[in-house]
Structure 1
Amino acid sequence: MKQITIGSWTIEVDVNKTKEFYRKHHLITEGCDCDFCANFVLACDKFPPAIKELFNLLGIDPRKEGEVSEYMENKDGTHLYGAFYHIVGRIIEGPKLWMPTEEGSEVSSPTFEKYYGVELGFCEGLSLFFEGLPIPTIQFEIQMNIPWLLS
Structure 2
Amino acid sequence: MTEWRIVRFHGYTVKADPDTTHKLIRELPNIGEKEHCNCQGCSNYALATEHFPFEVKKLFALLGMDPVKEGHVTRYFRAENGLTGEILEQPSEWPVKVYYKNETDHFLLTLTQVLPNSHIPTHLPFPEPWMELYIEAYLPWLLEEEYEDWTLEKEEADPSDA
In structure 2, list runs of 5 or more residues that go unmatched.
101-106, 145-162
* Relative contact order higher in (CA < 8 Å, ≥ 6 apart): 1
Q: Percent identity?
A: 30
- How far apart, CA to CA, are the structure 1 residues paired with 2:97 and 2:135? 10
So what's the TM-score if we normalise by structure 2?
Answer: 0.69
Residue of 28, 31, 34 corresponding to 2:36: 31
Match of 2:73 among 60, 64, 69: 69
Structure-2 separation of matches of 1:91 and 1:37: 29
Question: What residue in structure 2 maps to residue 124 of structure 1?
Answer: 113
The alignment of Structure 1 onto Structure 2 pairs a total of residues equal to 129
Deviates more, 1:119-128 or 1:33-42: 119-128
Is 1:139 aligned with 2:132? yes
Distance 2:68 2:36 in 1: 11
Distance in 2 of aligned mates of 1:62 and 1:20 = 14
> For residue 131 of structure 1, what is the amino acid of its counterpart?
L
Which residue number in structure 2 is paired with residue 114 of structure 1? 97
Q: In angstroms, what is the RMSD of aligned CA positions? A: 2.3
Q: Which runs of 5+ in 1 are unaligned?
A: 71-78, 98-110
Q: 1:6 to 1:46 in 2, by over 3 A?
A: same
For the pair 1:85 / 2:78, whether they are aligned, the reply is no
Cα distance in 1 for residues equivalent to 2:86 and 2:92: 13
Could you say which structure has the higher strand fraction? 1
| Distance verdict in 2 for CA 1:138–1:20, change over 3 Å | same
Give 1 or 2 for the bigger CA radius of gyration.
2
Q: 1:34, 1:82 → 2: CA distance?
A: 16
